[in-house]
Chains A and B, each alone.
Chain A
Amino acid sequence: MTAAAVPGVDAPAPAAGRRLASIRPDLLPVAAMVPAGSRVLDVGCDRGDLLDHLWREKRVDGRGIEISHEGVRACIARGLSVIQGDADTDLADFPSDAFDCVILSQTLQTVTAPRPVLRHLVRIGRTAIVSFPNFGYWRVRAALALKGRMPVTSGLPATWYDTPNIHLCTIRDFVALAAEVGISIDRSLIVRRSGRVAERPPGAWANLVGEYAIFRLSRAA
């Protein structure tokens, strides 16, 4: 994964006076949902921007799983606890309720088997936060309907033959799957193209105007 260069991340900065790394704007609402001082597992943590942010801002005891060598090395080199692993295979190792919150940010659409991964998220964590690009977003629909080509948008920038996304879904698809596997959606946020975040019920409107969806999940009672 060739992540964009983030200032202060490529080399471990000195412990004192370390600059706060800026995090991707779509990670800020995810970070906002995490309670301070909680235990968090970030699945697909890339170079650790979110975990680092959570540690610095909220003293969150964070762990990460990342598939790329480069991402893991960057995480460990900035003092984060991260293992090289794969959401599809390594979540099964973790005991139930090991974390207050498990985060799967922009990764669900890349896993081989989303259903067991989702089940593991709410098993390992008392809550889970999942974000993904919404394939029901109107620009995606328009690209497919009008041009007849696989959509390439700001939210889904890769061409069909280059994309790591193998299991894209719409907000309504996700809601249906959550109901099927016994997961309740406690909070539902959409991110507009402008970057504006709004709490919206995961219905038809959210499915049309949300470029990304962010859900907080738990095991259905």
Chain B
Amino acid sequence: MVFSQPQQDEGEAPAGPSRAVAPSGLSVTLAADRPMPLDCGAAIGPFVMAYTTRGTLNAARSNAILICHALTGDQFVDGVHPITGKPGWWSLLVGPGRPIDTDRFFVICANVLGGCMGTTGPADIDPATGCAYGLDFPVITISDMVRAQALLLDHLGIDSLFAVLGGSMGAMQALQWAVDYPERVFCAVPIAGAARHSAQNIALHEVGRRAIMADPRWHDGRYAEHGDRPLDGLAVARMAAHITYLSEPALHRKFGRNLQDRQRLGFSFDADFQVESYLRHQGSAFVDRFDANAYLYITRAMDYFDLAATRDGDLPAVFRGADGAGTPVRFCLISFSGDWLFPTRESRAIVHALNMAAANVSFVEIDSDKGHDAFLLEEPAFFAVLAGFLDGQAEHRGIAGP
């Protein structure tokens, strides 16, 4: 049987929470029979998961690739984004003949649990109260996100993924997948990631969260009931975060000290400099597509991420089975030399642990001065490595060429 693009199955189980946003794409209600346990001790269900697929699942159901999105990403990995009207965040990488070749692979990308692009999150209506969850939404973790994605795979009838890949928070999910479901993952590609969120990164996230919470329009998270939104706080959070995705050379190359629409300094606090104007634009464009509470929850999930926490910090042990054998999952880690948010040494620490577990691992650092964002940009060496890795692994897996 060949499984092609499933039809929209929203409404199969109408018991789920109602939607605040209903962008195009697919969605399904999960955990309808039995709530899904969460790391915080609570359980969630039924909940909605929004996703997109590309390509065709083969008869053996062996060619599925799960792409995990980053903090502010979503399921619209390629094609035109229904809200921004811009190309999907990985449209350079995903498509027919591209490194993640949709002529060959069945590509799935789902909005994470706690998100705001169709999957249940804090902006959705709590059926128990009839109001938006707000801060009553349970704190979720990367592991919870992955557990929810596993339910989606069950729904799609996919026992085993050929590959799971993602950058940044997507890399965290790819790692968590390999650790929590080694029997369901053939290979994993964590890009620009880390085995745990660093103190510096937690600190940076805290700045963003405090910006949102300091906005009086946040209303202690109950802005939906006030018909309001903390747009300024969320915009500032985004501006601060955006700087961390770039690099000093990239900013200098793009803007230098160039002035914005003026010949001389204005002796005011307007956006004199192009870089200021750019950041303000990034902030204001972001609030159109993102929910402030979802930003709090997803940044928290990243902060809590520590792959070895349950093993007393012993990272190699995470990649060994109960019998002491190394994980069967084949890894390819990729980092970027100019990324100071998730620097190469973080990826290298994972590689060292995988070597100690005698796992099958490839690793390369790509030369780039574009900062953390490099994983979203045109980087031919990155594309060549990713395409080559997937091609080689597909051969091992016995997946036919395009």
Contacts and interface: CB of A to CB of B under 8 A. Distances in A.
A83 B332 CA distance: 9
Nearest to B353: A93
Contacts of B401: 14-16
Given A76-B392, A84-B363, 8 more contacts: A14-B401, A69-B367, A76-B332, A78-B388, A79-B396, A81-B330, A81-B361, A90-B352
Contacts of B392: 12, 76, 78-80
Contact of B388 (A76, A83, A90): A76
Interface string B368-402: 00000000000001001101110111111000010
Contact of A93 (B356, B364, B393): B356
Interface in A75-128: 75-85, 90, 93-95, 98
A76 B358 contact: no
A73 B364 contact: yes
A72 interface: yes
Interface residues of B, number: 29
Given A14-B401, A83-B362, A77 B355 contact: no
Contacts of A139: none
Interface of A: 12, 14-16, 63, 69, 72-73, 75-85, 90, 93-95, 98
Residue with the greatest number of chain A CB neighbours at <10 A, chosen from B332, B364, B394? B364
A12 B387 CA distance: 9
A68 to B, nearest CB: 10
Contacts of B366: 69
B397 to A, nearest CB: 11
30 contacts: A12-B391, A12-B392, A14-B401, A15-B391, A69-B365, A69-B381, A72-B364, A73-B364, A73-B384, A73-B385, A76-B332, A76-B385, A76-B388, A77-B387, A78-B388, A78-B392, A79-B388, A79-B395, A79-B396, A80-B362, A80-B392, A81-B360, A82-B363, A83-B351, A83-B362, A84-B364, A85-B363, A90-B352, A93-B355, A95-B356
Interface string B335-365: 0000000000000000110011110111111
Contacts of A80: 362, 392
A93 B393 CA distance: 24
Contacts of A73: 364, 381, 384-385
B271 to A, nearest CB: 39
A119 B381 CA distance: 35
Where chain A touches its partner, the secondary structure class is: mixed
A4 B381 CA distance: 20
B356 A94 contact: yes
Contacts of A16: 401
Contacts of A12: 384, 387-388, 391-392
Nearest to B352: A93
B391 to A, nearest CB: 6
A203 B253 CA distance: 62
Given A15-B391, A15-B394, A76-B388, A83 B356 contact: no
A77 B385 contact: yes
Contacts of B381: 69, 73
Top 5 nearest A-B pairs (CB, nearest first) are A79-B392, A77-B388, A83-B363, A93-B355, A98-B358
B364 A79 contact: no
A80 B388 CA distance: 9
Contacts of B385: 73, 76-77
A25 to B, nearest CB: 26
Contact of B389 (A69, A76, A83): A76
Contacts of A84: 363-365
A16 to B, nearest CB: 6
Given A15-B391, A95-B356, A98-B358, A76 B364 contact: yes
B384 A83 contact: no
Given A73-B381, A79-B391, A63 B356 contact: no
